[in-house]
Structure 1
């Protein structure tokens, strides 16, 4: 009992991407509510984007991002960069090591929970007598595909083609793999000095335990395999469905709600490609053509990528009344929860899928060809909750006709009935806050060992 009542000082250090900051903040909030003191470390611009209604026991720790040649001025997150500039952000992130080291020395931290990118942090923490844990915002399926630390750090260099087959260590039935164009695209954002694979491997190897944004109800086999591959505890943290709401877009949201009220239940599909998907103007043209040809009502959130300048001329006028284009950041969770929304055309990001399946929405899978999105596309189709837009394995090309056909299959055609039904049942897992909170509780015994 005495050990359980101990209050700790826990630092959290996420990678500089919105899809990483928010799950880390959810865990920080849980820890703060348990009475622990939490230091949330990031750069000024990223911290400014966070909600302001945080528990008082969370302290935001600003560390100015060092500037490196090749990194655009003022850029502090992946959302502000094209893929080929992300390696410079990783170099700048690595240059935060002395500042993080100094903070840990003077702050009396018991634990630091880190992301994949800070491969140097376990060694710093060990030297200072601080416990370190690795928290993966990626799925257990994606981690299992990457393999054990020995392969990630010391294994033979792998060609892009090697990632297009299911790895030999996967010991359960799986078709999850990359398409060639996806792994080639992702390599554009990898630092040539320290690969993402080495970053993952060193972060995993140096940690006391690995926490994963996952749950046994959806990823039992991958979670089991990870313990075998890592030789250390793997703690599912639950799916962390969104709890924090960011401000912005309130007036526009009222307008969109009015527009949705005129639509039939489950008749509208939502198009959300995330904040960090790079897609060419040519592909945007085909995608827009497919959305138009589907003949179905839709809401398309157009962020920085693709930019409004890439929407084909005349598209908005041709779909007037049937389509709603929203420019910039949108309250995605609120939109997906509206009864008129019946599906989502998604870039296959784990966070967006969690939000969508939490509402029981089937997925029109259009891999963003970045990070693990291709793997997730295969996983969701394998699990029967969506259909993928057919694309060329080598260059990722696709046709507007195939986009339209896939949208209609998922949304209205008889062959999509099973997918729609299966996605609806996923609410019991992805939308079950009580179940997911039970997973978060499993973190406490591991950190109380400090």
Structure 2
């Protein structure tokens, strides 16, 4: 491969798998190319991104912005290692392949070295900090989740050293510097059980994060003011003792897609139905592209929505092999047809959230969905399903104040009676009014963050200046 010569400042980006991670990387690249005249090179491989996702990158590269895509061959898989970690399966396989990609990535970066002033990678690819640092290229992590989750990850090594117990075995709140006490059940899944391999994988990520030159977070000050203050003012208390300086912290969000980036031909039926509903009267229900409720929980949700009497639009996803008759109560759709819709195909989420008829969002607290809801001024019912969503839910309720939370039954389940209560509360109750007001405030704050002179605009300008001075 020949070296790319350019007069412009040049950054390289290495996103990890998953559309939820790729979208913020693409939006960040657009801003750096369009607003700060950077050349941006995405480096990837077929094991990291699917062909449709790589096609998205190539479409971005042909949009007129100075963005390009480079691929390197996928490393060979170690089947014996994969068998050793059968529990964790796909995730362990991906981490293994990322580890094996250090050398080809370093070789590729070496061909670009004279041009590159910064390298940005993902939380799941912190091992790639090493080849960048070896070539004296400043290395950054673009965190595609909340600042509160970063606080927990940075404090993870200290927490690990302070106790021999697993968090899931503790029945008490835990204090993290600068944050409110948080019950252990809200910590991310990978931090819960210290005997499991995934725990130690994330512990390694926590250590490596401390070696980055900076961490860019897809958030903004008003949404997570307490967590951002903790990361900036008390970061020495969050880092392990052996870390003298640690990475600089840069809140650069919200990085979300524009509504016109969603396919126009999809979801027109649910948008037409919304057009006929009163303002702020409809509860939007969606658990993300990968989130499935159990059949029993789906039935409880259906019966609770029906009993609430509220209007709702439910994007229902389920395993393909599971027929509707096994999860929805008999006659449910016939009974709710005058005030509810069960939508079974892809839906244009940003256009739905920005519709005037939407009054609230039952959300799994995936961070992209949260930021889309914030940017549209829609309050949440926080219903996390796994991973770091529990932590995000806790802080959206306790710190940001734009979400309400159901009362959980054993096993993190929600009864139909509780669904009925929280649906009515969201649309008509006192708590609902409070979170609606807070959501409206945060919508304006998100707009101001990217306006001229806004905090995220200024942070990105500082970064651009720093990187251009590295040339």
TMscore range, shorter length:
0.7 to 0.9
Structure 1 unaligned blocks of 5 or more: 73-81
Once the 2 structures are TM-superposed, how far is the Cα of residue 285 of structure 1 from its aligned partner?
Answer: 2.2
Counterpart-to-counterpart distance in 2, 1:25 and 1:155: 39
1:346 and 1:364 in contact (8 A); partners too: yes
Residue number in structure 2 paired with 1:22 = 23
Q: 2:168 and 2:124 mapped to 1: Cα distance?
A: 24
Mapping for residues 352-431 of structure 1, pairs under 5 Å = 352-368=369-385, 370-382=386-398, 383-392=400-409, 395-431=411-447
How has the CA–CA distance of structure 1 residues 47 and 398 changed in structure 2, closer, same or farther, with 3 Å as cutoff?
Answer: same
Alignment match, 1:57: 66
Q: How does 1:165-314 map to 2 (within 5 A)?
A: 166-172=173-179, 174-179=180-185, 183=189, 192=198, 194-202=200-208, 204-227=209-232, 228=235, 229-230=238-239, 231=245, 232-243=247-258, 245-248=260-263, 250-303=264-317, 309=323, 311-312=327-328, 314=330
* 1:405 to 1:177, Cα distance in 2 relative to 1, 3 A: same
Match of 2:334 in 1: 317
Residues 193/424 of structure 1: CA separation in 2 closer, same or farther (3 Å cut): closer
Secondary structure at the counterpart of residue 11 of structure 1: strand
Q: 2: distance between equivalents of 1:145 and 1:299?
A: 34
Gaps of 5+ in 2: 1-5, 240-244
Tell me how far apart the structure 2 counterparts of residues 350 and 307 of structure 1 sit (CA, whole Å): 28
Q: Secondary structure at the match of 1:266?
A: coil
Bigger Cα displacement from structure 2, 174-183 vs 394-403: 174-183
Check conservation: 2:402, 2:439, Cα contact below 8 A. yes
C-alpha distance in 2, partners of 1:193/1:177? Answer: 18
Change (3 A) 1:169 1:181: closer
CA distance in 2, matches of 1:317, 1:64: 52
TM-score normalised according to structure 1 size: 0.85
1:188-213 Cα offsets, whole Å, 9 max, x none, are 9x8549512321321x2221122112
Change (3 A) 1:71 1:289: farther
CA-to-aligned-CA distance 1:323-344 (integer Å, 9 cap, x gap): 2222233211111111111110
Tell me the CA shift for residue 128 of structure 1.
2.0
* Change over 3 Å in CA distance of 1:398–1:257 after alignment to 2: closer
**How far 1:12 sits from its partner (Å)?**
0.7
Does structure 1 conserve the Cα–Cα contact (< 8 Å) formed by 2:191 and 2:202? no
Deviates more, 1:381-390 or 1:440-449: 440-449
1:338 and 2:355 matched: yes
Q: How many angstroms apart in 2 are the aligned matches of 1:185 and 1:318?
A: 43
1:441 aligns with 2:452: no
Distance 1:340 1:381, change over 3 A: same
Classify the secondary structure of the residue corresponding to 1:251: coil
1:133 aligns with 2:133: no
Contact 1:367 1:373 in 2 (8 A): yes
Conserved 8 A contact 1:241-1:430:
no
Corresponding residue number in structure 2 for 1:75: none
Q: Give the paired residue count.
A: 431
Larger deviation: 141-150 or 161-170?
161-170
Aligned to 1:144: 151
Going from structure 1 to structure 2, the CA distance change for 1:329 and 1:84 (only over 3 Å counts) comes to farther
Displacement of 1:302: 2.6
1:113, distance to aligned residue in structure 2 (A): 0.4
Residue 427 of structure 1, CA deviation: 1.3
Q: Distance in 1 between matches of 2:294 and 2:137?
A: 45
